[in-house]
């Protein structure tokens, strides 16, 4: 019942709001019309002033006196006095006609202004009302009180009967006054009030005679009641003959007050009901809505008063309660019937009768509520009541009373909802009741759509939305995922609702070209700004989703759901209801998520179960790819299906392969990425030159490939790196790494996809595959190759980089920069790390000096090749790495320094840390000799200076260190060696002297 009143209140507020809005619009229009009229009038005045010959003369005088020549008067007349819209609508045409009439009638503007000013103000309006009516009412009340006081005053002087007679005499006097004054035209109003006052005083006397202390002279209650009834009857008679709402209301009110003062019992309630019915009956004469409101409100208040006085619901017997319900029903029904007359026939929305009617229904509901005893049988009268209300609504429609039709239809719907809710007393679950209400609301709204009454349709849609959400909430609160019975039951409910909602959506989308579906939006279009989004469409998907939640473990339902979702995907583009599209998307995601979670957390899942559950999900993603047109966006959306299929593949492959070996999923993803790449290329070829957008499938397939590769790397770091097992004599991890490098290379060397749409990922992401390959190779070498061999490995990689830069100068010129980095790392490791490693190699070449020497030879070879081919000249870093161009510029500028000196210094250090001190001078001189040779080859003076400085330092060491510490043999060997090398240097110096100074000459030139 509370819900009933809340809903009722909402409807009232909404309707009043709508009406006020309408009124505001009308007032606004009127105001704008008035403003327009004023504007036209002023234009007219100005035109008339222009047409005035006196003005012409004046103007001419002015123009003659001034230097400027004025424009011709004809030109002024030709100008229109108002603007006519270029393509006038019907309203505009009316406005124009009005304006034309105004123009032709020459109505003086003062009249219009006067009209506006003569409208009564708020204060004036209510002052008039108070003066005309309420002065009379208050006057009568005061008079009755005065007579009462008189009775009290005479209490000790005369007996009760005489006091009664005295008051009756007063009453008679007043009525006599009426008869005296009624003939005088000026006093007729006073006469009428005096008559009413007489009736009121008489009623007071009658009431006092039966029960008021001081006036009480009748001891027999039946006689007392009879006297009171006489008093009431007299007043009712006066109400009839009064001829005005005010007198009718006054006497009915007085009669009910008198009855309330008297001792309360069932008879008194019956009399009060009869008085009210009589009062209501008076409204059948004319359109007395205010009187009707006062009468039903008085009866309602009296009913509450009587109810409390009698001791509340518990004090009544069952029959008394039923009688109470019947009496309330009769009074309110009669009051309701007042409006079903031709008198109320209007197309407009009549506010006062509408409110009175609605309040009557409110009193009706509350009155019944007071006597409700909790019987489950109340469902039957409620349904009957709903049917009656619906019949009354139809009758109101016949009578062409629009507001009444709307009100009663809504009331019928509300009573139906209450009737359904009362089914709880019959032991029916709340979820089922809400489902019934929801389905009924759907049917109601569908039926209402034929009536074409937008308020009712919107209200119906609101009910559908509210109870649809309510049903979902009831599923949440009453659902139990561990109780199979509840799950089956709620799955059935959700299934029924889903089919119903879907049918409803389909039905209203076809009605009047989908006009009504516009109200199926958030807040049902009650707000000014509506979002074109079908809530019921969304509900259809959510109900299917509910089935998925409740019956996710049953494979048959899983298949059925996939089938239903697939159908939804297929019909969705034809229906063109965005809510259904959203629901479909939601449903597809949810079905996938539920099944993924189910498979992931079910540790006992076997391959068969994973496949039987997971593979059918591809039907949905493939369907989403095929039927991908979205009307709202006016485009094909392929990414959704493609991404979903790829993610599903990732999860299914992970779950299927992981039990065999956790290393397989990563390899499977790696391989699949190649397939996606090839597929993307194939599609790109197929749709080459396509003029329409077909959803860019190749782009999203490529994204899928990137995702798979990303996941592989992620899994490689987290899972593969820890694997130490062998497949035969090769480490499994190593085989995977080699495969990954091969696949990265394959991606890196793939020619650009021809389609235009994929250019972004191709520009920003794809070039990085070369870097990815290098990084992954470095990672693989770091893990798989013994540390001894790292410096040599980096150099081999650097050679590879140089080769690629040379072979693919346009695409991979940057590899030479990475080669330099690798070369530096190699130098660093030879110098600082190689000597630090534990020396436990099984072979002689595992010794640091052997590997270091080999590495240095390779480093010099690299240096030589690098210098020869000079790859830095051609290096260009493209968009994703163009910040590296600055770094390349620095490398280019100081190429000799950064390439040669690190190696020279590090070789010196390597020699120092690796070889015997006694041999160091010889080895360093050998290095200086090498630097000298370089200076000749490169024609670089600074190398020669460095070599000579080194030689000087070596000679100093030879003299001060080797002479004093070394043995004779070593001394001999060192001195011999140094001597030969220096002689060699001398010979070279003389042989290539010209070449050595060539650089200087070049500089001078």
Partner 1 sequence: MKYFRFTFLIIIIFAGITIITGLIIKRSNTPLNSTLAPFFQLVGEPIKAVDVATARVLPIDENDEKIYGEKLASYYDQRANKSDSVYLYINNLLNVISSYSNKPFKYKAYIMSWSIPNACAMPGGIILVTEGLLKTLSTEGELLSVLAHEMGHIECGHCFTSCKYEILSNKIDLEGIGEIADFFNALFFRHSFSKTQEAEADAYAYKIILKSSYTPSSVAGSFKELLKYSQNRGEHSSSEQDADLFRDYFMSHPPLALRIAKYEAESNLWWKRNTNVLKYVGRKNIKMKKTLKELEIKEEWVTSSLY
- Interface residues with partner 1 (CB under 8 A) are 657, 660-664, 667-668, 670-671, 674, 678, 717-727, 729, 732, 735-736, 738-739, 742-743, 746, 749, 779, 782-783, 828-829, 831-833, 835-840, 913
Smallest gap, in angstroms, from Cβ of residue 615 to partner 1?
19
| CB nearer partner 1, residue 337 or residue 721 | 721
| CB nearer partner 1, residue 172 or residue 739 | 739
Smallest gap, in angstroms, from Cβ of residue 946 to partner 1?
21
Smallest gap, in angstroms, from Cβ of residue 718 to partner 1?
4
Torsion of the alpha carbons at 212, 215, 218 and 223, rounded to the nearest 10: -60
- What tokens appear for 960 in the block? 């001060």
| CB nearer partner 1, residue 525 or residue 665 | 665
| CB nearer partner 1, residue 42 or residue 661 | 661
| CB nearer partner 1, residue 552 or residue 715 | 715
Query: Given phi > 0 = left and psi -120 to 50 = alpha, else beta, which region is 264?
Result: beta
Smallest gap, in angstroms, from Cβ of residue 788 to partner 1?
12
Is the separation of the CB atoms in 620 and 595 below 8 Å?
no
- What tokens appear for 969 in the block? 């043999």
Smallest gap, in angstroms, from Cβ of residue 919 to partner 1?
18
Radius of gyration of the chain (CA): 51
Smallest gap, in angstroms, from Cβ of residue 852 to partner 1?
14
The alpha helices in 283-346, defined as continuous H runs, are 289-309, 318-337
| CB nearer partner 1, residue 534 or residue 831 | 831
Smallest gap, in angstroms, from Cβ of residue 839 to partner 1?
5
Is the separation of the CB atoms in 199 and 179 below 8 Å?
no
| CB nearer partner 1, residue 185 or residue 724 | 724
For residue 177, give the 3-state DSSP assignment: helix
HSE-CB of 816 using CA atoms within 13 angstroms:
32
Smallest gap, in angstroms, from Cβ of residue 969 to partner 1?
25
DSSP string, 61-130: HHHHHSSSPPPPHHHHHHS-SSPPPSS--HHHHHHHHHHHHHHHHT--HHHHHHHHHHSPPHHHHHHHHI
| CB nearer partner 1, residue 771 or residue 784 | 784
| CB nearer partner 1, residue 635 or residue 723 | 723
| CB nearer partner 1, residue 550 or residue 910 | 910
| CB nearer partner 1, residue 10 or residue 726 | 726
Smallest gap, in angstroms, from Cβ of residue 736 to partner 1?
7
| CB nearer partner 1, residue 260 or residue 674 | 674
Smallest gap, in angstroms, from Cβ of residue 727 to partner 1?
5
DSSP 878: -
Judged on CB neighbours under 10 Å (0-12, 13-18, 19+), 751 is exposed
The alpha helices in 217-371, defined as continuous H runs, are 221-242, 245-261, 266-282, 289-309, 318-337, 351-371
DSSP 916: -
Quote the CA–CA distance of 715 and 650 in Å, as a whole number.
Answer: 12
The alpha helices in 627-765, defined as continuous H runs, are 639-657, 664-686, 697-718, 732-748, 759-764
| CB nearer partner 1, residue 499 or residue 711 | 711
- What tokens appear for 570 in the block? 């297929």
The alpha helices in 808-882, defined as continuous H runs, are 809-812, 815-828, 848-869
Smallest gap, in angstroms, from Cβ of residue 810 to partner 1?
15
Q: Which residue has the tokens 């019975």?
A: 485
Quote the CA–CA distance of 329 and 385 in Å, as a whole number.
Answer: 10
Quote the CA–CA distance of 857 and 124 in Å, as a whole number.
Answer: 113
Quote the CA–CA distance of 469 and 787 in Å, as a whole number.
Answer: 66
Smallest gap, in angstroms, from Cβ of residue 831 to partner 1?
8
| CB nearer partner 1, residue 749 or residue 945 | 749
Smallest gap, in angstroms, from Cβ of residue 732 to partner 1?
6
- Contacts of residue 17, defined as CB under 8 A and 6 or more positions apart, other chains included, come to none
Quote the CA–CA distance of 138 and 136 in Å, as a whole number.
Answer: 6
Smallest gap, in angstroms, from Cβ of residue 709 to partner 1?
13
Quote the CA–CA distance of 446 and 434 in Å, as a whole number.
Answer: 18
- What tokens appear for 538 in the block? 């969304």
For residue 154, give the 3-state DSSP assignment: coil
């Amino acid at each position: 019942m509370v819900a009933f009143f809340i809903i009722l209140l909402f409807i009232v507020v909404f309707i009043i709001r709508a009406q006020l809005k309408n009124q505001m619009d009308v007032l606004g229009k009127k105001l704008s019309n008035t403003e327009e009229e004023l504007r036209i009038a002023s234009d007219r005045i100005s035109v008339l002033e222009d047409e005035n010959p006196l003005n012409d003369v004046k103007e001419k005088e002015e123009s003659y006196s001034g230097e400027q020549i004025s424009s011709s008067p004809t030109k002024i007349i030709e100008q229109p006095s108002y603007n006519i819209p270029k393509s006038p609508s019907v309203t505009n045409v009316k406005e124009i006609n009005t304006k034309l009439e105004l123009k032709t009638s020459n109505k003086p503007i003062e009249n219009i202004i006067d009209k506006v000013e003569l409208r009564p103000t708020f204060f004036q309006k209510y002052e008039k009302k108070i003066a005309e009516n309420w002065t009379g009412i208050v006057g009568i009340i005061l008079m009755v009180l005065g007579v009462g006081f008189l009775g009290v005053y005479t209490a000790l002087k005369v007996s009760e009967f005489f006091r009664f007679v005295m008051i009756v005499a007063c009453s008679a006097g007043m009525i006599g006054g009426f008869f005296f004054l009624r003939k005088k035209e000026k006093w007729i109003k006073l006469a009428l009030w005096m008559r009413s006052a007489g009736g009121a005083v008489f009623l007071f006397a009658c009431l006092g005679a039966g029960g008021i202390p001081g006036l009480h002279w009748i001891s027999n209650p039946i006689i007392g009641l009879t006297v009171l009834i006489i008093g009431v009857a007299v007043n009712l008679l006066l109400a009839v003959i009064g001829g005005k709402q005010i007198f009718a209301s006054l006497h009915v009110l007085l009669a009910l007050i008198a009855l309330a003062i008297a001792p309360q019992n069932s008879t008194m309630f019956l009399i009060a009901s009869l008085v009210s019915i009589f009062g209501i009956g008076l409204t059948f004469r004319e359109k007395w809505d205010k009187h009707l409101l006062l009468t039903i409100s008085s009866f309602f208040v009296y009913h509450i008063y009587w109810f409390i006085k009698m001791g509340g619901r518990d004090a009544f017997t069952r029959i008394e309660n039923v009688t109470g319900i019947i009496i309330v029903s009769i009074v309110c029904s009669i009051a309701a019937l007042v409006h079903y007359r031709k008198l109320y026939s209007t197309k407009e929305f009549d506010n006062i009768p509408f409110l009175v009617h609605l309040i009557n229904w409110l009193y009706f509901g509350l009155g019944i509520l007071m006597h409700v005893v909790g019987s489950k049988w109340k469902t039957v009268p409620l349904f009957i009541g709903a049917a009656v209300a619906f019949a009354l609504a139809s009758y109101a429609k016949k009578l062409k009373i629009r507001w009444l039709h709307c009100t009663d239809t809504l009331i019928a719907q509300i009573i139906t909802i209450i009737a359904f809710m009362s089914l709880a007393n019959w032991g029916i679950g709340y979820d089922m009741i809400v489902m019934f209400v929801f389905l009924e609301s759907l049917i109601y709204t569908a039926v209402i759509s034929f009536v074409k009454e937008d308020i009712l349709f919107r209200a119906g849609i609101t009910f559908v939305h509210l109870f649809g959400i309510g049903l979902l909430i009831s599923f949440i609160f009453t659902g139990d995922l561990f109780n199979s019975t509840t799950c089956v039951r709620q799955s059935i409910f959700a299934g029924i609702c889903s089919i119903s909602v879907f049918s409803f959506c389909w039905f209203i989308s076809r009605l009047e070209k989908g006009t009504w579906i516009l109200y199926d939006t958030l807040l049902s279009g009650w707000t000014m700004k509506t979002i074109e989004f079908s809530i019921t469409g969304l509900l259809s998907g959510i109900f299917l989703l509910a089935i998925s939640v409740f019956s996710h473990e049953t494979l048959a339902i899983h298949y059925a759901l996939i089938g239903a979702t697939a159908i939804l995907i297929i019909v969705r583009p034809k229906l063109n209801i965005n809510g259904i599209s959203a629901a479909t998307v939601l449903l597809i995601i949810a079905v996938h998520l539920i099944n993924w979670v189910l498979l992931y957390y079910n540790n006992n899942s076997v391959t068969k179960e994973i496949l039987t559950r997971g593979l059918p999900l591809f039907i949905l993603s493939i369907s989403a790819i095929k039927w991908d047109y979205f009307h709202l966006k006016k485009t094909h959306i392929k990414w959704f299906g493609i991404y979903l299929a790829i993610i599903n593949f990732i999860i299914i492959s992970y779950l299927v392969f992981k039990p065999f070996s956790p290393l397989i999923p990563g390899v499977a993803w790696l391989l699949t990425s190649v397939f996606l790449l090839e597929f993307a290329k194939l599609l790109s070829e197929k749709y080459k030159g396509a003029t329409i957008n077909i959803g860019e499938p190749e782009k999203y397939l490529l994204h899928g490939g990137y995702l798979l590769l990303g996941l592989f790397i992620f899994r490689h770091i987290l899972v593969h790196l820890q694997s130490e097992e062998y497949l035969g004599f090769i480490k499994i991890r190593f085989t995977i790494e080699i495969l990954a490098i091969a696949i990265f290379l394959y991606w890196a060397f793939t020619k650009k996809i021809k389609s235009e749409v994929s250019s972004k990922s191709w520009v920003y992401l794809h070039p990085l595959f070369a870097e990815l390959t290098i990084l992954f190779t470095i990672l693989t070498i770091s893990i798989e190759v013994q540390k001894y061999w790292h410096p040599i490995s980096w150099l081999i990689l650097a050679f590879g980089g140089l080769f690629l830069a040379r072979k693919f100068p346009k695409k991979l010129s940057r590899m030479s920069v990475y080669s330099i980095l690798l070369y530096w790392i190699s130098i660093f490791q030879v110098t600082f790390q190689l000597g630090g490693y534990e020396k436990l190699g099984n072979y002689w070449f595992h010794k640091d000096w052997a590997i270091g020497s080999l590495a240095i030879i390779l480093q010099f070879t690299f240096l030589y090749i690098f210098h020869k081919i000079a790859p830095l000249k051609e290096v260009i870093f493209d968009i994703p790495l163009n910040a590296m161009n600055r770094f390349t510029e620095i490398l280019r500028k100081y190429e000799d320094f950064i390439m040669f000196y690190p190696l020279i210094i590090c070789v010196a250090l390597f020699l120092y840390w690796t070889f015997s001190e006694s041999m160091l001078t010889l080895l360093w001189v050998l290095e200086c000799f090498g630097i000298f040779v370089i200076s000749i080859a490169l024609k670089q003076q600074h190398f020669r200076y460095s070599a000579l400085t080194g030689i000087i330092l070596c000679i100093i060491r030879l003299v001060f260190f080797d002479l004093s510490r070394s043995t004779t043999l070593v001394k001999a060997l060192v001195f011999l060696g140094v001597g030969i090398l220096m002689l060699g240097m001398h010979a070279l110096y003389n042989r290539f002297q010209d070449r050595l100074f060539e650089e200087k000459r070049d500089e001078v030139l």
